[in-house]
Every structure is written in structure tokens, then in C-alpha cells.
């Protein structure tokens, strides 16, 4: 049986100069890159190719004109990739925005019972 009441649904993404930049999937990718230290591991966890993940990240960087990841060449332990400060700010901004959308959705879901009052 389906739940009763009105559910507020939405999708959130950021655009820059009219072009889509990043959404929930892109933010997940960036978080995985930062957590794993690897674009290839992040891509694998998301079920996308390394080429797709790399191209996606480069597209964001080219659109915004800033670096969002930094790749460090390996030595004995190998190389790794991390988010730059701007990359972290982008992820944090998106997370804060999404959290606010969820809070607003909850407020209106709580009010939705009045829609069905007779």
C-alpha cells in the first residue's frame, strides 16, 4: 500500500551561465574521489568508466574556470587525487542547498494534509 499524503519531489542541480554544472550524481563522484583518493576507484564505485568520470570533472573545471581536483604524482605509495579547496566549497555549497530543499519539502509535506480536507 502506498503512503498517504502528498510527497514533495524535486531534483537539484547547479548551472553556470545557463549550462548545467553539477547535480547529485556529480557531487557523489567528487566525494568518492576525495574519500578514495582515486578517480578510477570512484568511477568503479559509481558504475561509470574512468573516461566518463575524468571528462565530467574536466567539464566542470572548464565551465567554472577553476580546478576542483588536484592529482598528485606517485612515489613509493603511488599517486592520489583530492578535491581542491574550491572543489570542497562546491560540494559543501551543493550539500547545504540540497539540505535546505529537503527542509522546505518537509514543511510543505506536513502542510499537505490540508489539501485533502473536505
Q: What is the rounded CA–CA span in Å between residue 9 and residue 81?
A: 34
Judged by DSSP in three states, 19 sits in strand
pLDDT at 25: 97
Has residue 113 been placed in a domain?
no
pLDDT in tens, 97-107: 999 999 999 99
Neighbours of 75 (CB within 10 A): 7
Domain total for the chain?
1
Q: What is the CATH number of the domain that holds 29?
A: 1.10.10.10
Residue 81 lies in a domain: yes
β-pairing verdict for 69-72 and 19-23: unpaired
Instruction: Note the pLDDT of residue 114.
Output: 73
Domain extent, residue 64, equals 21-108
Phi, psi of 81 (to 5 degrees): -130, 135
Task: Note the pLDDT tens digit of each residue in 78-93.
Answer: 789 999 999 999 999 9
What pLDDT is attached to residue 4? 66
3 in a structural domain:
no
Decide if 1 is inside a domain. no
Domain-located, residue 77: yes
Express each pLDDT in 19-44 by its tens digit. Answer: 999 999 999 999 999 999 999 999 99
pLDDT category, 117, cuts 50, 70, 90? low
Amino acid at each position: 500500500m502506498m503512503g498517504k499524503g502528498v510527497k514533495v519531489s524535486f531534483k537539484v542541480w547547479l548551472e553556470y551561465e545557463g549550462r548545467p554544472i553539477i547535480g547529485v550524481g556529480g557531487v557523489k563522484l567528487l566525494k568518492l574521489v576525495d574519500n578514495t583518493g582515486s578517480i578510477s576507484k570512484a568511477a568503479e564505485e559509481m558504475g561509470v568508466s574512468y573516461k566518463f568520470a575524468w571528462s565530467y570533472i574536466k567539464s566542470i573545471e572548464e565551465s567554472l574556470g577553476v580546478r576542483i581536483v588536484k592529482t598528485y604524482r606517485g612515489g613509493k605509495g603511488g599517486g592520489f587525487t583530492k578535491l581542491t579547496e574550491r572543489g570542497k566549497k562546491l560540494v559543501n555549497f551543493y550539500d547545504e542547498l540540497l539540505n535546505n530543499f529537503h527542509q522546505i519539502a518537509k514543511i510543505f509535506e506536513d502542510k499537505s494534509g490540508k489539501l485533502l480536507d473536505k
